[in-house]
Structure 1
Amino acid sequence: MRNTLDQANSPYLLQHKDNPVYWQQWSDEIITLAKEMDKPILLSVGYSSCHWCHVMAHESFEDQSVADVMNEHFINIKLDREERPDLDKTYQLAHQLLNRQAGGWPLTTILDPHTLVPFFSGTYFPKEPRHGLPAFTELLQKISEVYRDKKGDIAEQNQRLTQALRVVAGGETGGKSDSSSSTKSLAEALCSSIIERHDFRYGGMEGAPKFPQPAIWYSALHLLESKDLEARNVEALSQAVIGSLQGFSRYGLFDHLAGGFFRYCVDERWDIPHFEKMLYDNGQLLSLMSEAGHYFADGELMQSVDLTIRWLEEQMLAPEGGFYSALDADSLDEQGVSREGAYYCWSPQQLDFLSDEEQQFAKAYYGLNDTANFEGQWHLVTRKAWRDVAEETQVHQKQAPILMESARQQMKLVRDTRPLPFRDDKLLTSWNALTLQGLLQAKKAGSKAVSDGLINGCRQYLREKVWLNKQLWACFKDGKAYQQGFLDDYGYLAKALLLSLADTFSQQNWSWLKQLCDILWQEFADQERGGFYFTSDHQETVITRHKSWSDDAMPNSAAQALEAVWVVAEMTGDTERQIFIEKSLLQAGSEAEQAPLQYPSVIRLLEVWQQGLELWVLRGEGFELPPLQEYLATGLNPGRWVFALEKGINDPVLEEKFPATEQLSAYCCREHQCFPVIDDFEALKEFANRNVN
């Protein structure tokens, strides 16, 4: 055998193509070979910007003595978790069940080749004993002996683990709930959990490390308009939301020079991040920061939105119009040594290119007068408002923003000359769809940086490069789409198209959305019990098909898929799918009762269901529609969707339910009933603000 990763598309796999380990890609042929040779499979899962993946690679996978042990006793498969999230979900869950603790990356798991069920699982292992962990080679030799000598024990364990995986991954836990009061109690429970665990000093949740957890705060923001929460809880929740988002944007999670958010911070103060930037984080945070910035009229949040969009356009935009996946945490420092955070950190003497006044202001604003906060250097944070810095440095309030912006731009230009961290240049459909959602939310919120060209380019990439023959592909690189799409891809894109239609309704995007919803219904939906599987009914199934309503680093794609199918079903009058929506939400609510903080997306949807989905369809000339559309779409209305159809859009189904007339017409359907057409702006305002019981 030999290392065959030189044939891979994934930048992560290509990083390992010169390892002495005989790495293989996941394939039926390799699995068959492992069965024939009766060799256990060593499955190593990671991604290109994973710091500890790099550490383990340098320590072990590049070492010939380690490779010799791996090659002798195992069939070694390297997997990019971003290309195969289905397999990653399966083996992360298996790790959790085997070890009674969460996994992570790198994931090192040993599979029985005949069943693909893991009988051992861990994460990072050092070459030599360290951190209370055994030496990797010694561990592998013991595992090989266990596989050879105790196959009966392994088979028994595998049987129990397989059963547990199918129960947990298949969403078979929990009972049924049909109480209309459960939605109120779930909203209260989520609110209470957030307030209880919120760090009111620094923002986010208490403890360290700290992740931004956009799904939690996005749902919390929408719950501020809930009728189910007491006023005092709404006030506390509002403080938690704005405090957390300010924490994200003011301190070390945010790149203050170029924009963009890092993946997480290692401390409770949001000071020092793990320096990789992931597209999926930034897409979600664009949506969250945009809606919150508009809702709270917070200029700082909107500034973080604008800078992040500029960063996406400058460093992440691919020629095809979509966005690359990630920037690594490590890069080369001045001595040519790869070091975490080298691209982003400063020492005060590196600011000599600034004027004395700019230096004084920048050092005070970015904390460079304080003790170094990262390995003898400074990662930029803002502990003080610029107005306070202006007062301390005796700079006029009108001059301070100009001075600060001049310093920022010059510092960015100097930093741009440094070696850029490694960029994973594959394009992932799901992450691009989340980013498209963020760009559309930023436009709605009035961002100065977003453009129709950027939005249209991303949407056009998704339509022309990965939507082929009415099938969605999950990955794109070097001009080629590959890997059949998962629920993340279809669900996030369907939600993005809903937002696109709410921005500008087009026949092409409406038709595309309906096709996506048809595929979600036919290939992913569990029509009998409710919910969606992560893989389609014709994709590879390893051990089990996953079905879950919980959020993780990305928002729950079943919830986004359900929202899209729901709105389209209401628009088209599809009663079969409307029944499915209710069945799914009841199932999701039952699951969410067990741990509300893990199910914020579901609870947000249940709140909409309880209050009633509200659809507005406006028909008229192009110049007539914007005032009505802007009035209805302004503000935080979680259950309201507004679509403005100019004359010339003649979808037969929409024409039957919302017919165009000679004059401006507004149709509203809410709380499972449709109302007479409205043809007067003042009447529309009155009706829109009236509670319907």
Structure 2
Amino acid sequence: MVEKDMRNKLAQASSPYLLQHKDNPVHWQEWSGEVLALAKELDKPILLSVGYSSCHWCHVMAHESFEDEGVAKVMNEHFINIKLDREERPDLDKTYQLAHQLLNRQAGGWPLTTILDPKTLVPFFSGTYFPKKPKFGLPAFTELLQNISRIFKQKRDEITEQNERLTQALQTIATGTRNASEISTESLVPDFANSVLKHHDKRYGGMEGAPKFPQPAIWASSLALSTSQSLTNELADHLRQAVLDTAKGFCNYGLFDHLAGGFFRYCVDERWDIPHFEKMLYDNGQLLSLVAATGHYFADGQLMHSVDLTIQWLKEQMLAPEGGFYSALDADSEDESGKSVEGAYYSWQPKQFTFLEEPEETFAKHYYGLNKKANFEGQWHLVAREDWRQVAKKLKVHEKQAPILLESARQQLKMVREKRPLPFRDDKLLTSWNALTLQGLLEAKRAGSKTASDELINGCKNFIRQQVWKEQQLYACYKNGTAYQEAFLDDYGYLAKGILLALSDRFTQVDWSWLKQICETLWNEFADKAEGGFYFTSNHHQEVITRHKNWSDDAMPSSSIQALESLWVVAELTGNTEWLEFVEKSLLKARAEAASAPVQYASAVRLLEVWQQGIELWVIRGEGYELPQWKEYLTTGLNPSRWVFAIEHGANDTVIETKFPAKPDDEQTLRAYCCRQHQCFPPISDLEKLKSFLQEN
């Protein structure tokens, strides 16, 4: 490639986000070795623009600037312009978001607009959204770009010096340098619980303030840690109540789509009233797990109803023919005038309710608050303003009739809404997000949801195994029949945990062999065997500035923790002492990171507590009608340290014979084997003895 041949190359892309920009006058390129080499040869700075298909402000910047001939002329003259889908390349996004934070002393976001030195790929300027004309206290984009170009030419020595400092800082932060050799093993759970309760919004659930993000990793860990022996009974009760209030806040108000199911990305207000209307698969996978576990533990039927509706939404709007799930629905869609407007698909005007008949109309208006002031720009975004039982009492409707009326109104409203133009759907399939959704479906099934069918679970699992698992290598993305982009730690870690949960649901030789292969890859290609932990990229990925290691949660749970937990359980099953030593070394490192801010490391705090209390492993072997009964007894309740695998006679596995015999002497007799706190107990062959064992130990 030579510069005179530069043109917009995004028509060749797989990413729906990149394809949205294929007709821009900007000479957009995809990230590639060839393009990076050209920038280096020309010594021309790289303008890297990072976003994703359902990002509202990405669309705004695209319409204002990237579709404008004048702006494009400045960009093409002064820069090599690269457009990046952060969902396809989370490794690059992590690097440049961290660089943005270091350069600006504040968090980044999307769109990310960063300017790279072509020789080192280190950014010397970074921002997010910039307007075409000055507003919001921001300069005009073209004026900014011209100034950056001039600085690049005139102050190269200063840029080089800054880049050296930034590179060193990136490598230090990305790999973690805190010394774990003399770290206390005292539980972090009380600090975690007190911090969560201090910032918990007691009125609406979640954390105080606005905008409000669901942060499912914090609340999932809170539920698990509420059983910790490190907490007083009072503190544990408060923590459990905070989780319940939060789950209800997610499901009762505007974060939840009350007609079709599914959760939006976040809400702009503290009441969970008005969301930013995109629906992301990774949010819904995590919230399925959280709400199902909470609904099951508290026996809350309304939470489980939200779980069922969300799974139904996944089936109706997100399910691909291959069995996996698409990535996202956009926030924007066409309104009645044909204009693209945020929330148009989901919002209602008063005149649009005339089709409802009595008594559904009156009941729905009270339940959704339609007899009160509109809550979204003169329209209504549907929220549950009152509990349906209170509405029934107020309207003197029998409690058995009320749910029927509400369901009838919901279905009618849903049918009318489905005639509207659906928001843009990002139809690439991401392995990591599908793995989180697989986890959510399995948790929903364990919680008793009939909607979480084996067909749906196996379809998702088989999509990953058949379409993105090729010759014992995983790929991160899939679109139009093609798997592409070598997988990252998110993909392997979330999938390992998903297959572990699948084995706990139903143990099969195929899944067991697959899980061991995934863990071998984690060990050989991602593990830092000397220092502990996992790198986000494999040892044969392209390294840009640095390889990241991280224990904290963000919008998704820590993939390092999920990978480590999976490796740990497999090591316990197979007696792999090398892996067990690595787990301990890694958890000491994780604790060193988590001690200063436990809530940011919620998943790590949860796994550290399992380590300190001792993991509990049960394997039930044999056959007969009692096997499900034994398994149900062991899996009932909240037991975050316990893993249970029921292996029917005939699921003959030779690998775990080192700890658990492949079959008992009497093939018709069940045996339950338990190992916990670094010791294994004699096999148990009677359910009453099993119950006694649990009560006594």
Q: Same-fold call, TM > 0.5?
A: yes
* SS of corresponding position for 1:689: helix
Question: 2:687 corresponds to which residue?
Answer: 681
Q: 1:31 aligns with which of 23, 36, 40?
A: 36
Partners in 2 of 1:18 and 1:31 — Cα distance? Answer: 22
Question: 2:3 corresponds to which residue?
Answer: none
Q: Is the 8 A contact 1:177 1:587 kept in 2?
A: no
Q: Is the 8 A contact 2:178 2:589 kept in 1?
A: no
Q: 2:61 aligns with which of 41, 56, 60?
A: 56
Question: 1:288 corresponds to which residue?
Answer: 290
1:557-580 residue CA offsets vs partner (Å, 9 max, x unmatched): 000000000000000000011000
Question: 1:603 corresponds to which residue?
Answer: 605
1:105 aligns with 2:110: yes
Question: 1:78 corresponds to which residue?
Answer: 83
Q: Is the 8 A contact 1:632 1:688 kept in 2?
A: no
Per mean C-alpha deviation after superposition, the further-off stretch among 589-598 and 308-317 is: 589-598
Q: Is the 8 A contact 2:251 2:303 kept in 1?
A: yes
TM-score by length of 1: 0.99
Question: 1:244 corresponds to which residue?
Answer: 246
Partners in 1 of 2:473 and 2:216 — Cα distance? Answer: 29
Q: How big is the shift at 1:538?
A: 0.5
Q: 2:171 aligns with which of 160, 166, 170?
A: 166
1:519-576 residue CA offsets vs partner (Å, 9 max, x unmatched): 0001000011100000000001100000000000000000000000000000000001
Q: How big is the shift at 1:176?
A: 3.7
Q: Matches of residues 293-692 of structure 1 in structure 2 within 5 Å?
A: 293-659=295-661, 660-661=663-664, 662=666, 663-691=669-697
Question: 2:280 corresponds to which residue?
Answer: 278
Q: Is the 8 A contact 1:260 1:277 kept in 2?
A: yes
Partners in 2 of 1:173 and 1:18 — Cα distance? Answer: 48
Q: How big is the shift at 1:375?
A: 1.0
Q: Is the 8 A contact 1:283 1:435 kept in 2?
A: yes
Partners in 2 of 1:516 and 1:79 — Cα distance? Answer: 28
Q: Is the 8 A contact 2:39 2:45 kept in 1?
A: yes
Per mean C-alpha deviation after superposition, the further-off stretch among 392-401 and 204-213 is: 392-401
1:365-385 residue CA offsets vs partner (Å, 9 max, x unmatched): 111111111111000011210
Gaps of 5+ in 1: none
Q: How big is the shift at 1:597?
A: 1.0
Root mean square deviation of aligned Cα = 0.8
Q: How big is the shift at 1:690?
A: 2.7
* SS of corresponding position for 2:344: coil
Partners in 1 of 2:657 and 2:234 — Cα distance? Answer: 46
1:231-270 residue CA offsets vs partner (Å, 9 max, x unmatched): 1211221221111111000000000000000000000000
Instruction: Number of aligned residue pairs: give it.
Output: 688
Q: 2:14 aligns with which of 9, 15, 23?
A: 9
* SS of corresponding position for 1:356: coil
Per mean C-alpha deviation after superposition, the further-off stretch among 398-407 and 682-691 is: 682-691
Partners in 2 of 1:123 and 1:500 — Cα distance? Answer: 40
Q: How big is the shift at 1:622?
A: 4.8
Q: Is the 8 A contact 2:178 2:592 kept in 1?
A: no
Partners in 2 of 1:69 and 1:178 — Cα distance? Answer: 53
Partners in 2 of 1:5 and 1:177 — Cα distance? Answer: 52
Partners in 2 of 1:339 and 1:535 — Cα distance? Answer: 38
Partners in 2 of 1:125 and 1:40 — Cα distance? Answer: 18
Q: Is the 8 A contact 2:180 2:588 kept in 1?
A: no
Amino acid at match of 2:80: I
* SS of corresponding position for 1:683: helix
Partners in 2 of 1:381 and 1:416 — Cα distance? Answer: 18
TM-score by length of 2: 0.98
Q: Is the 8 A contact 2:620 2:672 kept in 1?
A: yes
Partners in 2 of 1:171 and 1:622 — Cα distance? Answer: 51
* SS of corresponding position for 2:477: strand
Per mean C-alpha deviation after superposition, the further-off stretch among 391-400 and 107-116 is: 391-400
Q: How big is the shift at 1:681?
A: 0.8
Amino acid at match of 1:535: T
Q: 2:160 aligns with which of 155, 162, 167?
A: 155
Per mean C-alpha deviation after superposition, the further-off stretch among 389-398 and 496-505 is: 389-398
1:401-424 residue CA offsets vs partner (Å, 9 max, x unmatched): 100100000000000110000000
Partners in 2 of 1:128 and 1:331 — Cα distance? Answer: 25
Q: Is the 8 A contact 1:177 1:590 kept in 2?
A: no
Q: Is the 8 A contact 2:295 2:301 kept in 1?
A: yes
Q: Is the 8 A contact 1:167 1:173 kept in 2?
A: no
Partners in 1 of 2:432 and 2:280 — Cα distance? Answer: 13
Partners in 1 of 2:60 and 2:178 — Cα distance? Answer: 38
